[in-house]
Structure 1
Amino acid sequence: MNRSPELKVGFGMINEIILQPIRSILLRTSLEIGVFDVLSDFTSSIDVSKRLGTHHDNTRYLLDGLASCDLVEKNNQMYRNTEMSRLYLVSESANYMGSYIQLYQRSLIDALDDLTEMVQKGSIPSPPKVVDGSYDEFEEYVKALASAAKGGTARIAARIVSQQPEFPTMRRMLDIGGGPGIIAMAIVDPHPFMKGVIFEQPAMAEVARKNISDFGMEDRMEVISGNFLTDPLEESFDLIWTSFCLYFAKHHLDETIKKIFEALEPGGIFISLHEGLNEEGTKPEILVLPNIAMNMNGHDTAFESGEIVEAMRRSGFSDVRSRPEDSPFGEVEVVIGKKE
């Protein structure tokens, strides 16, 4: 009998890839039917199925699957949310990420249902997206952006800005593409007198205005409607912040960053928070994989590591420095430049 060759590499990683879609489907289904909302305390699968109006045995199998993923605890046939699920998956939580997760899955994962056709024949019509401030599911899109900000980006932004030596004397900041305004408010709030401006397209600008009112920050925050690619920016800012919005300017990045440079006061700083792909655009995985569907449909807008750094230097910024930053969405690149 011929001996099988010795295998130096196991099959484990491939098996892990096979399991990943199952985890994603379990999470998505649980959010859709409200599983995490009824697991604040240890609860039996019978009580869960009664409260949700679901099939008991299949509800139990779903709960066991969630427990295997460490999204719920199981003890003596009772189930309860883990701390992570309590923070991010309960709909009443201030940090709820459900809207973001569901939109993410539809726009980035479900879009790969036609992957074979895209690889064989080229791009197919893209899913709905923001265009001139409109969106087919605009309310859900807004919730997703707010979830992403509350889920970590706002805290990261506030910490990065407050660590800058210029922070104590900053009087006015601008958040370009500031979305629903959560990030800009988080930056401004801990400062004793700094005021903030959010620059956004008209529909989203209205959302930002409402959030500012809800947070009682009308005296410190202003919203300007417009398109940062084509409209002029106001001037006299001590800080300009951008996070995950320069993709739209990728093909005329120098022009956009030069506009930002000119909008700063002397001594002002520009901070960019975006991904930085490395290893010839193949890493980090958590940033490469979500972009596959968009890339194949002609929207390759991700930045290589160092790309924004070089554009800032070409646009006149001095003391340009960058560093990696851990975020809930993977490692991103913080780039800071100063206008002398």
Structure 2
Amino acid sequence: MVNLQRETGAGRLLATLEGPIRYALLTWALDRDIFNRCSNPVREEELSRSLNLPDRQLGLVLRALVAAGFLEQGRDGFCTASDILPFVTSGSSRNMVETLRSMSQTRLTGLDQFDALVAGSSPGGQRRLFDDAHWDASHRALSAFHQALAAEIMVTCLTGLPEWEAAADLLEVGPGSSVVSRLLLAKRPDLSITLFDLPPVAQRIEAETDGLCVRVVPGSYTQSLPEGTFDIIWCSMSLYFHDQGLPELIGRLSQRLRPGGVLVSFHEALTDQRTSPPEHVLGRLLPALRQGDVSFADGEIAGAMAAAGLVRASHSIHDTPFGRFRLDAARKDDTHA
């Protein structure tokens, strides 16, 4: 039962204090391998012996993990909550522990310097936003994120396009991994796929696509785009790093479409004067304070597509475990082709 008093006024203020405790519980459980230890029910005394921790202290933490929704408690002991089990246990194809650790570092770095960041006096704020080294170091975490849940959602977006069945080729801009490509080729082995990413990331993708029929092109879209034209160009959470403005980048991408081809974007869409959805506004606050706000406003990408001359636009909103996203698609005019 939802306690409405906890969601308004004083209740909301007091509930906020639980945030750091939930995070501490999660990181402790990951560090102590609690989720693997509890993949099957384990009694408290057995955990106490194996972890060499005092019963009373451990019991408090285990019950807090239940309260936080990370563990379940039954007659046979404590067990990892069924809905998070595939994401936190070793050997699972959907394990996203490395993703959680990487995202926490990105989202929480600078929390201890919050006032200095707001004042603009914190060091490191002038670094280039998410440079090659950042993405190179984040490759494994991003691959795990795609494998765990993101790629499945992206593939649903792509296969739902009217152009999907007839498309001969697809360009993915800033894929970060080969996971989406593998899923797409399982559905359409005849599809020609080009993956375009920063050189160090492209090298990693090429190594993991051994035996997969894809073309990997290294480069940066601030400088160039792969040669050729495509029926579908897919951009998922990758258009942030333009250096001459979004309309210019969208214009160059549209030139790589064949007549009738579709440019597809899957990005956040901030609403209510950039105060919503909260998962994007709050989750991206520290990176924005450190290195600039790159989040897109609702309709911003659609506007750039229209300015580039793309037509027959459509959009839909998708609620995902990683936030609310807007899918925009617009086509290159084929009436004069």
Query: TM-score surpassing 0.5?
Result: yes
- Among 151, 164, 167, the residue aligned to 2:164: 167
* Residue in structure 2 matched with residue 64 of structure 1 by the alignment: 63
Q: Secondary structure at the match of 1:248?
A: coil
- CA gap of 1:120–1:37, structure 2 versus 1, over 3 A, is same
Q: CA deviation at 1:123?
A: 4.2
Q: CA deviation at 1:120?
A: 3.6
- Among 175, 179, 186, the residue aligned to 2:176: 179
Q: CA deviation at 1:198?
A: 0.7
Map Cα deviations across residues 142-197 of structure 1 (whole Å, 9 max, x no partner). 22201221232211111111111211111111110011221233233211411211
1:27 aligns with 2:33: no
* Residue in structure 1 matched with residue 266 of structure 2 by the alignment: 273
CA distance in 1: counterparts of 2:243 and 2:323, whole angstroms: 21
1:241 aligns with 2:220: no
Q: CA deviation at 1:264?
A: 1.2
Structure 1 window deviating more from structure 2 (36-45 vs 58-67): it is 58-67
- CA gap of 1:130–1:280, structure 2 versus 1, over 3 A, is closer
- Counterpart of 1:335, as a letter, is D
1:152 aligns with 2:145: no
* Residue in structure 2 matched with residue 15 of structure 1 by the alignment: 14
Matches within 5 A, 1:34-73: 34-73=33-72
Structure 1 window deviating more from structure 2 (243-252 vs 55-64): it is 55-64
Contact 2:109 2:286 (C-alpha < 8 Å) held by counterparts: no
CA distance in 2: counterparts of 1:185 and 1:111, whole angstroms: 37
Map Cα deviations across residues 227-276 of structure 1 (whole Å, 9 max, x no partner). 11112322221111011111112751111111111111111111100000
Map Cα deviations across residues 71-90 of structure 1 (whole Å, 9 max, x no partner). 11111361011122211111
- Counterpart of 2:80, as a letter, is N
Matches within 5 A, 1:121-270: 121-126=120-125, 130-131=130-131, 133-135=132-134, 138-139=136-137, 141-213=138-210, 216-217=211-212, 220-249=213-242, 252-270=245-263
CA distance in 2: counterparts of 1:77 and 1:173, whole angstroms: 51
Map Cα deviations across residues 36-73 of structure 1 (whole Å, 9 max, x no partner). 11111110123234444555443332221111111111
- CA gap of 1:175–1:56, structure 2 versus 1, over 3 A, is farther
Q: How many percent of aligned residue pairs carry the same amino acid?
A: 23
CA distance in 2: counterparts of 1:20 and 1:286, whole angstroms: 14
Unpaired segments ≥5 residues, structure 1: 1-8
Aligned residues: 325
CA distance in 2: counterparts of 1:309 and 1:15, whole angstroms: 39
Contact 1:35 1:52 (C-alpha < 8 Å) held by counterparts: no
- CA gap of 1:204–1:338, structure 2 versus 1, over 3 A, is same
1:311 aligns with 2:308: no
Q: Secondary structure at the match of 1:206?
A: helix
* Residue in structure 1 matched with residue 321 of structure 2 by the alignment: 328
RMSD, aligned α-carbons: 2.1
Unpaired segments ≥5 residues, structure 2: 1-7
Map Cα deviations across residues 125-157 of structure 1 (whole Å, 9 max, x no partner). 1489742x324x945x22220122123221111
- Counterpart of 2:313, as a letter, is V
CA distance in 2: counterparts of 1:61 and 1:250, whole angstroms: 51
Q: Secondary structure at the match of 2:228?
A: coil
- CA gap of 1:235–1:68, structure 2 versus 1, over 3 A, is same
Relative to the length of structure 1, the TM-score reads 0.89
Contact 2:233 2:262 (C-alpha < 8 Å) held by counterparts: yes
CA distance in 2: counterparts of 1:123 and 1:294, whole angstroms: 12
Q: Secondary structure at the match of 2:245?
A: helix
Relative to the length of structure 2, the TM-score reads 0.90
CA distance in 2: counterparts of 1:301 and 1:284, whole angstroms: 15
CA distance in 1: counterparts of 2:94 and 2:197, whole angstroms: 23
Contact 2:41 2:76 (C-alpha < 8 Å) held by counterparts: no
- CA gap of 1:121–1:160, structure 2 versus 1, over 3 A, is closer
- Counterpart of 2:102, as a letter, is L
Q: CA deviation at 1:335?
A: 0.4
CA distance in 1: counterparts of 2:67 and 2:225, whole angstroms: 52
- CA gap of 1:236–1:165, structure 2 versus 1, over 3 A, is same
* Residue in structure 2 matched with residue 80 of structure 1 by the alignment: 79
* Residue in structure 2 matched with residue 108 of structure 1 by the alignment: 107
